[in-house]
Amino acid sequence: MLDAFASAAGYMLGNPMCFVLIVFSVAWGIMFGSIPGLTGIVGVALLIPFTFAFDPIEGMLLLGGVYVGSTFGGSISAILFNTPGSPEAACTSLDGYPMAKRGEAGKALGIALAASAVGGIFGTLVLMFAAPPLARLALEFGPAEYFALAVLGITAIASIGGGSLVKGLIAGLLGLAVATVGLDPLTGIARFNFGNPMLLTGVSFIGAIIGIFALAEVIQRFADGPTEANAMTEVSTKLPSLAEFLATKATLLRSSVIGTIIGALPGVGATTAAFISYSEAFRWSKHPELFGKGSPEGIAAPESGNNSAVGGSMIPLLALGIPGSATTAVMIGGLTIHGIVPGPMLMQNNSDLVYSVFIGMMLANILMLVFGLRAARVFALVLRAPYPLVGPAIVVLCMTGVFALNNNVFDVVIMLTFGAVGFFLKSFGLPVASFIIGLVLGPIAEVSLRQGLILADYDLMTLVSRPIAGTLLALSALSLAYGLWGQFRARNATPKPVTETDAKAQTDPA
């Protein structure tokens, strides 16, 4: 193994172009990630023709760097404008934006960046040293296990909004309901598309999240008028101190482990990893009441989760030749065009390539941290611009971005519709987090449950009695019961509403 590392490092040192490409690709990735509608997948797909000009190793370094950069990039716009630049950053909006809104943009960006780097490096280390065994572990996950995993995430919908149980359930179930729109994934029958062929794909997730987060926020701010909260005069570009960051270390570790495992599962990727990390961070947090109001843990969890999923999704790609995510599927396409056969023999037959990718991804994460720390303070200054100027610009960017995704006006219609949905969710005090969790995890739960039932000849017990699935389902039931008990206890105690000022006071180390 050391020989392979030395040989790959030797190759890279002999071809300085490798390093130029890594720097370029990280910057390109961050840019693609942060612009709504331009996702990491688009960033990687656009660069595939360019890789023809290079050796496969340089080509893969280029694609790997974009993947790393784009997964972090989405959080920049998510934090500053409540506009997730890419689907995997949707979860980061939930706490990143409230923190930025109260004037701590620098801190929010800093936490997101450092958590991204920690998660990314963790995922890459696991990829380097444990890819084959972890790939085998991922194979143990059949439909029953996917279902149990999705259920574990979904159980959070009742409590995660911090408000009432009923409101959380309403929002979560609405999310699950919206997720059923489109072609039935197993029988191919149209559901709830009202005769519109474009709805057969289901509700475009990117359109929906940009509507719910970005557009709804703009509507909200303009509906509020020029209040004091809209005049953001004091924007601190101060980055978080090391102590502030380390306060989230348990969350970072947990999310990185979750993200790496979920990343390694084919078919689910960084977005799922971010949401499950978030709901677990909420479940285990000492201050769950701060979630949704700018909790540092609420930023650290999704960012370390989605970035560790990058390394995770490279595991089945390099160990078995199966893509762990949509972006790695595009990479496989790139590899085969170079005449490389992805499969279990890749690590032996192309060890220079595999180990160069390891080294390249590690460098990409470190570079991201270095660039990002300098850039975060500058980015944070954007918030000093008056909102009446920023708001319309956000709307225009979102509309062009969502349109550009598929050159499809219907996606823009979805975005506008969900802008209204998001606005009304907020007006009725329904938690957006629960809605989105239902939307993200609903399809996974539905498809895998039905696949699992077919495989078990419709015997539910066979499904539940599988060790991994059973354990995850038992955990879900326990946590649900614990959450209900907590709500019951809280109702009997004197209620003490938490305001955003409280949240700030509690997160600042005295």
Partner 1 sequence: MTIMNFKALGGATMALALSITTAIAGDYPDRTVEIIHQYGPGGGTDRFIRAIGEPMQEATGQSVVPISIKGGGGVPAYVSFLQRPANGYTLVSLSPDDVINHALGRIDLSSVYPLVRIQYDQGMLLTSKDSPLKSLDDILAAAKENPGGLKVGVTGSAGFDDALVGQFNAEAGIELETVPFGAAEMVSNTLGGHIDLMYEEYGPTRGLIESGDLVPLVLFSDERLPELPEVPTAKENGYDVTLGRWRGFGIRPDTDPEIIAKLIELFQAAYEDPGYKEVETQSALQYRSEFLGPDEFKAFMDSETEAFSKIMKDLGY
Q: Locate tokens 């105690």: which residue?
A: 493
Residue whose CB is less far from partner 1, 69 or 323: 323
Residue whose CB is less far from partner 1, 205 or 284: 205
Residue whose CB is less far from partner 1, 198 or 366: 198
Around Cβ 181, how many Cβ atoms within 10 Å?
Answer: 17
Residue whose CB is less far from partner 1, 106 or 316: 316
Encoded tokens for 491: 């109702």
φ/ψ of 191, rounded to 5, equals: -125, 130
Residue whose CB is less far from partner 1, 186 or 490: 186
Encoded tokens for 241: 């101190």
Least Cα distance to 66 among 97, 89, 34, 91 occurs for 34
Around Cβ 397, how many Cβ atoms within 10 Å?
Answer: 19
Provide the minimum distance between the beta carbon of 394 and partner 1 in the complex, in angstroms, as a whole number: 26
In DSSP notation, 181-211 reads: -EE-TTT--EES-TT-GGGGG-S-HHHHHII
Provide the minimum distance between the beta carbon of 242 and partner 1 in the complex, in angstroms, as a whole number: 40
Provide the minimum distance between the beta carbon of 357 and partner 1 in the complex, in angstroms, as a whole number: 16
d(CA 145, CA 138): 10
Residue whose CB is less far from partner 1, 16 or 197: 197
Residue whose CB is less far from partner 1, 230 or 408: 408
Provide the minimum distance between the beta carbon of 132 and partner 1 in the complex, in angstroms, as a whole number: 12
Provide the minimum distance between the beta carbon of 184 and partner 1 in the complex, in angstroms, as a whole number: 7
Provide the minimum distance between the beta carbon of 455 and partner 1 in the complex, in angstroms, as a whole number: 6
Q: Burial of 247 by CB count in 10 Å (0-12 exposed, 13-18 middle, 19+ buried)? A: middle
CA 387 to chain centre: 27
Q: Burial of 67 by CB count in 10 Å (0-12 exposed, 13-18 middle, 19+ buried)? A: buried
In DSSP notation, 412-423 reads: HHHHHHHHHHHH
Backbone φ/ψ region at 84: left (φ over 0), alpha (ψ -120 to 50), beta: beta
Which residues would be at the binding site for partner 1 (CB under 8 A)? 41, 45, 48-49, 52, 138-143, 182-188, 197-202, 265-267, 316, 320-324, 326, 329-334, 336-337, 339, 341-346, 406-408, 451, 454-455, 457
Provide the minimum distance between the beta carbon of 191 and partner 1 in the complex, in angstroms, as a whole number: 11
| Distances, alpha carbon 218 to alpha carbons 168, 232, 270, in Å | 23, 15, 27
Residue whose CB is less far from partner 1, 92 or 260: 260
Provide the minimum distance between the beta carbon of 418 and partner 1 in the complex, in angstroms, as a whole number: 18
